[in-house]
Structure 1
Amino acid sequence: MPEGDTVWQTAQRLHTALAGQVLTRSDLRVPRFATADLTGRAVLDVTPRGKHLLTRIEGGLTLHSHLRMDGSWQVYGSGERWRGGPTHQIRAILGNAAYTAVGYRLPVLELLRTADEEQAVGHLGPDLLGPDWDPHAALANLLADPARPLGEALLDQRNLAGIGNVYKSELAFLARATPWLPIGELPAGIPERLVRTAHRLLEANKDRLARRTTATGGTSRPDQLLYVYGREGHPCPRCGTPIRKADQGDGSRERPTYWCPRCQTGPSS
């Protein structure tokens, strides 16, 4: 699932290509909105909200989309070949004279009144990359259920919006706690540090092509960009113990999780 920084980058690409321009092509390939025609309307802005995308359109309309596991928005110049996937995977097309934005495999796509955006994103906690970021509110949300495993609490977008599997695993490693440790059992001061670190990492990565959480400045080697995520069987960068991988979930969905069984304290899978 894309993390908040990936969604932020997607929003910037869409905004650059569409904002301030009148739509000359509009095609929403979902049954509920298949007859909607947005041509002749100008796109006002494209705003990320956690992992959600809000494309605001003249006339008080918003196209709300969510990428979830494998959705994507691709932007193509006039005459450029579309390469995001087969035609049957296209769910949305928004085009102007210069650019065309194509949404592939979008599991969530709905057209709603801009005044009703809260129906789609009002449940979200403070956005790590948004103007509403509030570390105190995020911390209070995380600690509201002290028995909840750290990884599940970080992934819950109602607590704070923007963390996915990568940052969940990386933040738990930096906190020296397994993702299964109840968040209320973290040592004093660590939850506050987690919230600050989450904000710092997403801010640092929102303009990078390759996400990096490690302190190794300037590295471009894939094996040195992340501490534990995607590194099952590789040595822990702190203690050398092989990194482990397991699924973690709240019963609704299992998510890949990486951790060091030696230097991260707490229960394991």
Structure 2
Amino acid sequence: MPEGDTVFLAGHRMHEALAGKTLRRGELRHPRLSTLDLAGLDVLGVRTYGKRMFTHFSDGNSLHSHFRMDGAWHLYRPGERWRRPAHQARAVLEVDDRQAIGFALHDLEFVPTSREDELIAHLGPDLLSSDFDAAEAVQRLTADLSRPIGLALLDQRVMAGVGNLYRAEVCFLLGVLPTAPVSSVDASRAVALSRKLLQANQWRPEQITTSDRRVKNWVFERTGKPCLRCGTRVRSGEFETRFVYFCPKCQSG
């Protein structure tokens, strides 16, 4: 599942590759958008917010793409072989020297750029925004103190950008199980940790939450392996249709 840092980096690379250039090819392979031809439009820039990306065009419209569980944007040189099957491609944006291919983007919208803020108005503060409002994030996180912290962290209406990996790692660093209520954690610390981890990885494709590149994460996808702190076997289980990872000794609740 792409997290906010993955989307941020993809947006930055897209902006560098396309901004200021004219589309030679612009196909949207989505039932609602398949008749649109974007060729000839200039790309003005690319903006991200949480797990959403907005590509701005010179006609006053934007392509809104949501990464959800398996979406991705790849960049290629002309003639370079795609790393994912062609039938997964939902968008093809091509300029003279680069191709941007959007794979498995189930949610695509072509909307007036002036309406972008309407599409993200319900979301919490973007954890990677330069003007991130930590106080608002804390207020949203603590709106329901009985809610499991593992659900609250994933709720993009609380904070935009946390996915399953960072949910697992933040809960471990807080010392609580994902099922523990929000009331059992320091909400300010939970927000600060979420932002710190995403910021640490926003400029690289690797998502490292420990200080050791050889063992990148504390508990995420480490089922059966020893906890890096206490040696207890890391466990996992399904919680609200998603897998959670935890150390039964280091995490309580």
TM range, smaller chain: over 0.9
Q: Distance in 1 between matches of 2:79 and 2:103?
A: 19
* 1:182-222 C-alpha deviation (Å, 9 max, x unpaired): 10122xxx2211111111111111112321111x2xx331x
SS at match of 1:26: strand
AA at the equivalent of 1:262: K
In the alignment, what sits opposite 1:245? 236
Output the TM-score relative to the length of structure 1: 0.91
Q: Distance in 1 between matches of 2:184 and 2:221?
A: 26
Q: Distance in 2 between matches of 1:157 and 1:129?
A: 13
In the alignment, what sits opposite 1:11? 11
Number of residue pairs aligned between Structure 1 and Structure 2? 253
In the alignment, what sits opposite 1:220? 213
In the alignment, what sits opposite 1:100? 99
Return structure 1 stretches of 4+ with deviation > 6 angstroms.
none
Whether 1:21 aligns to 2:21 is yes
In the alignment, what sits opposite 2:36? 36
* 1:139-174 C-alpha deviation (Å, 9 max, x unpaired): 000000101000000000000000000000000000
Q: Distance in 2 between matches of 1:82 and 1:265?
A: 45
Percent of aligned positions that are identical: 46
* 1:200-249 C-alpha deviation (Å, 9 max, x unpaired): 111111112321111x2xx331xx11100010111112221111101222
Whether 1:64 aligns to 2:64 is yes
Q: Distance in 2 between matches of 1:31 and 1:131?
A: 36
Q: Distance in 2 between matches of 1:83 and 1:182?
A: 41
Aligned ranges 1:112-191 → 2 under 5 Å: 112-186=111-185, 190-191=186-187
SS at match of 1:70: coil
SS at match of 2:102: strand
Q: Distance in 1 between matches of 2:36 and 2:118?
A: 20
SS at match of 2:56: strand
Q: Distance in 2 between matches of 1:184 and 1:11?
A: 35
Give the C-alpha shift of residue 105 in structure 1. Answer: 1.2
In the alignment, what sits opposite 2:205? 209
Q: Distance in 2 between matches of 1:90 and 1:225?
A: 30
Give the C-alpha shift of residue 125 in structure 1. Answer: 0.4
Whether 1:261 aligns to 2:248 is yes
Q: Distance in 2 between matches of 1:220 and 1:211?
A: 9
Cα RMSD over matched residues? 1.1
SS at match of 2:189: helix
Give the C-alpha shift of residue 79 in structure 1. Answer: 2.3
Whether 1:236 aligns to 2:227 is yes
Give the C-alpha shift of residue 116 in structure 1. Answer: 1.2
Q: Distance in 1 between matches of 2:147 and 2:202?
A: 29
Q: Distance in 1 between matches of 2:202 and 2:160?
A: 14
Output the TM-score relative to the length of structure 2: 0.97
Contact 1:138 1:195 in 2 (8 A): yes
Give the C-alpha shift of residue 98 in structure 1. Answer: 0.8
SS at match of 1:33: coil
Unaligned runs of 5+ in 2: none
* 1:125-145 C-alpha deviation (Å, 9 max, x unpaired): 000011341110000000001
Unaligned runs of 5+ in 1: none
